Amino acid sequence: MTPADLTLTVLHAVRRAVGDGVLAIRDVPSRVTVERPRPGGRGDWATNAALQLARPAALPPRQVAEVLRERLLDAPGIERVDITGPGFLNLTLRPDARAAAGRLLVQRVREEGLRYGYGDALSRLPEAQVRFALPYGADLRQQVLTHTVVALLRSQGAPARLAQPSTPQAVAPHPHVPRHGAPHEGTPQAAAPQPDAPRHGAPQPPVPHTQPLRLRPHPPHYDVAAVLPTDAQRWAMLRPAAHDRVLDPEPLLRLTESAGNTLFTVQYAHARAAALLRNAADLGFGPACDEDVHAPELIAALGDHPSVLLAAARQHAPDRLARHLEVLADAFLGFQHTVLPLGEEKPSAAHRSRLALAEAAGTVLAGGLSLLGVSAPAHL
């Protein structure tokens, strides 16, 4: 069962409880959150649906959790349901369902490609939460962070945009924020001619009710653009949380896997995934989801990607995505050695399935780097 399957399963349990008259709520939510258990949790997945429903049901969250637990225990693929904390439901899948979930996950990534993890969960955010501005003289980190947050929000369906500045400014456009011809969403443009002052009584342009948001990260402590190449510039500014200092340049200039250069690790993992596909083609086989693959850490990292993207967008935190890519890269680099046949071994269904998982990992790494405005090289 994938997270999407589990979301539908939880919603079905909610509807059953409402239909049975146990939960007196007027409107069943259109979505619930299913994510990896937090520290102190159990099982494979967790949901806060009981906490979400407690207020409209006028019941304590743990009582709502007990109601839902009874209706989840007989759901296909679920082995155990535990209640932890104030009312989190922790779901443990049956082994066969867990293995099948990995295969379905790989198929989904291969179908959705670089847009895996995109969604519309933030499509209804009000303008006050998706309209951003860059002040005149904004430093490079403020520019890069703002454009990246806009890109992340758009990946989750939010109509995010940059407000037109009142003063010309130099911005660092994100390569994946479409410009749509708007003068405020791209490279600096010549100032437009100003109209004559309006006559008395003439209609005035509407004044926004809210000021656009301004992100204020910790400014760089050195000239990032002068010291680092483009990819390393963005990683140095986006990998730390906005309130933290940008990364020091020395590790980012050492292009080795063991030098503390996490950007190199992520890009190297993507290059290795591309190399495996090339090498497999030379051996006469390609990726296919023929069998279940035992790679729990890698599959878990792939499954977490949609929730990480959503959290990074909602919290204006590209660093969450960057850290997740590091986890994914480490999991993949520990798995990659099992993909190709060894010695005289002939390619089999197992090799094709492992190659499909490697391809999926490379796709997610490329998609995540793309949202950060960082390249995903096929050769390193």
Q: Which of 13-22, 30-39, 152-161, 217-226 is least confident? A: 30-39
pLDDT of residue 32: 87
Which of 27-31, 122-126, 212-216, 363-367 has the weakest average pLDDT? 27-31
pLDDT of residue 218: 96
pLDDT score at 30: 81
Q: Which of 218, 214, 220 is nearest to 166 (CA)?
A: 214
Of the ranges 166-175, 219-228, 363-372, which one carries the lowest mean pLDDT score?
Answer: 166-175
- Asked whether residue 279 carries a pLDDT value surpassing 60, the answer given is yes
Among 327, 310, 340, smallest CA distance to 32 is for: 310
pLDDT at 211 over 90: no
**For residue 379, how many other CB atoms are within 10 A of its CB?**
7
Question: Tokens 């979400």 map to which residue?
Answer: 52
Compute the half-sphere exposure of residue 81: CA atoms within 13 Å on the CB side of its CA.
Answer: 24
* β-strand partners of 167: none
- pLDDT for 150 equals 97
Using the structure block, give the residue that is written with the tokens 């929000």: 153
Strand residue runs (E) in 26-183: 34-35, 45-47, 78-84, 88-93, 131-132, 161-162
Which pLDDT value is given to residue 118? 96
User: Which pLDDT value is given to residue 178?
Assistant: 42
**pTM for this model (two decimals):** 0.76
Residue 180, pLDDT score? 34
Residue-level pLDDT at 186: 34
- Does 159 score more than 90 pLDDT? yes
For the chain, what is the mean pLDDT? 87
- pLDDT at res. 101: 80
Q: What pLDDT shows up at residue 194?
A: 38
Does position 289 have pLDDT exceeding 70, yes or no? yes
Query: How many residues can be counted in the chain?
Result: 380
Q: What tokens were used for 371?
A: 């949202």
- The residues pairing with 88 across neighbouring beta strands, listed in sequence order, are 84
The string of DSSP letters for 184-227 reads TSSS--PPPPPPPPPPTTPPPPPPPSSPPB---PPPPSS-HHHH
For the ranges 73-77, 155-159, 185-189, the lowest mean pLDDT is seen at 185-189
pLDDT value of residue 132? 95
Reply yes or no on whether the pLDDT at 199 is more than 80: no
pLDDT surpassing 80 at residue 197: no
Q: What is the pLDDT of residue 292?
A: 86
Q: Grade residue 41 by pLDDT with cuts at 50, 70 and 90.
A: confident
Give the pLDDT score at 52.
Answer: 92
Count of C-beta atoms within a 10 Å radius of residue 79: 15
Count CA atoms within 13 Å of residue 188 on its CB side: 13
Query: What average pLDDT score do residues 14-38 get?
Result: 87
Q: What is the pLDDT of residues 335-369, one digit of tens each?
A: 999 999 998 999 999 999 999 999 999 999 999 99
**Which of 60-74, 79-93, 201-215 has the lowest average pLDDT?**
201-215
pLDDT at 164: 66
- How large a percentage of the chain has pLDDT more than 90? 67
CA distance 295 to 333: 12
Mean pLDDT of 83-91: 93
The top-level CATH class assigned to 3-93 is alpha beta
Residue type, 149: V
**From CA 367, how far away is CA 321, in angstroms rounded?**
11
Assess whether pLDDT exceeds 50 at residue 298.
Answer: yes
- Return phi, psi of residue 92, to 5°: -110, 125
pLDDT surpasses 90 at 239: yes
